[in-house]
Amino acid sequence: MSGVSVVILGSANVDVIIELDRIPGPGETVLTDASDRGRGGKGNNQAIAAARAGAPTVFLGAVGADESGDFLLEAQREAGIDVTHVRRIEDAPSGTAYVMVDSRAENAIVVVAGANGQLLSLTDAEREVLRGADALLMQLEVPMATVLEAAAQTKRAGGYVVLNAAPYAELPDELIANLDLLMVNEHEAALAAGRSGTPEELAATIGERVPDVLITLGAAGSLLQRRGSDPVRINAPKVDAVDTTGAGDTFAGAYVAATVAGLPEQGRLEYAAAAAALAVQRPGAVASIPRADEIQDAVRRYFA
């Protein structure tokens, strides 16, 4: 397949968004009359973020042969994503995420995998797509065996392989060997490093196994550690957050789009940080993801 820039392998979910004053504790019932339905799933979010950020994007994933699947694919098509190879699963519903958002814009999420769990191996057509990718971005909301296979296929063909290790799981040596960049938040970084420490210390430890490490630090910014180079760290723009749901996915998709566009390290981080800063000022996951012209304007405002 020719003309491919970014391939996203991952999950697609319908989000049921529940707004609360506070997220309930164990055994507690909290009442609300504020709820909504949207599109989400880390793979879906990152694919739309990459496409809106300007990268030609192909999505590999699975949705149910149901109205929810139609709902998810409609947004991907609107973003300009190639959905030719998205599987429609007859005997499993589309994935669903229940997202609780409190008055401080913090969230808690429960995901029912549904069709995402049926992505057990790659087809020949999917392998062909991966062989044509400039970059592959994956997460861990689909079966690990497929993540392993996709990383190996892309690496053999010379593509740049990125794993956003969320939700965190132990990373097999076989997967580590095929990664160019591991992207994690600070909590995931501590798990990957097997220790606590500063972001710089965690990145150095992880960097013994992975060529490049990118740690997102929320409101504190992000840190990129490339093997053999000094770390690059930027501060996040100061904004008033409305909803942090999907902000990390927006950062990931925008970062990979900036990478295939050839931006330098600092520029990639600034582009991704500006995209995430715009996203947290809007409600929802997919609905909050900005477009390339908005991101470029925000880079000039936040980092000039």
Residues 164, 10 contacting (CB under 8 angstroms)? no
| 87 known ligand binder | no
Q: How many CB atoms lie within 10 A of CB 240?
A: 7
Cα separation of 128 and 132, whole Å? 7
CB 203 within 8 A of CB 231: yes
Q: Does 216 belong to an annotated binding site? A: yes
Q: Is 27 annotated as a binding residue?
A: no
Residues belonging to the active site: 249
Q: Is 164 annotated as a binding residue?
A: no
**Beta-carbon contacts of residue 32 (< 8 Å; ≥ 6 apart):** 18, 19, 20, 21
> Are the CB atoms for 237 and 192 separated by under 8 Å?
no
State which H helix or E strand residue 187 sits in.
Answer: helix 186-193
* Residue 197, marked binder: no
Q: Phi, psi (5° rounding) for residue 218?
A: 60, -130
Number of Cβ within 10 Å of residue 32's Cβ equals 10
Q: Locate 263 and state its tokens.
A: 């931006």
Binding site annotation covers 149? no
User: Is 107 known to sit in a ligand binding site?
Assistant: no
Is 45 flagged in the annotation as binding? Answer: yes
Residue 156 labelled as part of a binding site: no
Is 42 labelled a binding residue?
yes
The per-residue b/e assignment along 59-81, b for 16 or more CB within 10 angstroms, e otherwise, is bbbbbbbbebbebbbebbeebeb
Nearest CA-CA partner of 5 in 133, 171, 156, 184: 133
218 is in an annotated binding site: yes
* 193 annotated among ligand-binding-site residues: no
Does 249 count as an annotated binding residue?
yes
Known binder of ligand: residue 282?
A: yes
Extract the annotated binding site for substrate. Answer: 13-15, 41-45, 141, 249
Extract the annotated binding site for ATP. Answer: 185, 216-221, 248-249
Extract the annotated binding site. Answer: 13-15, 41-45, 141, 185, 216-221, 243, 245, 248-249, 279, 282, 284, 288
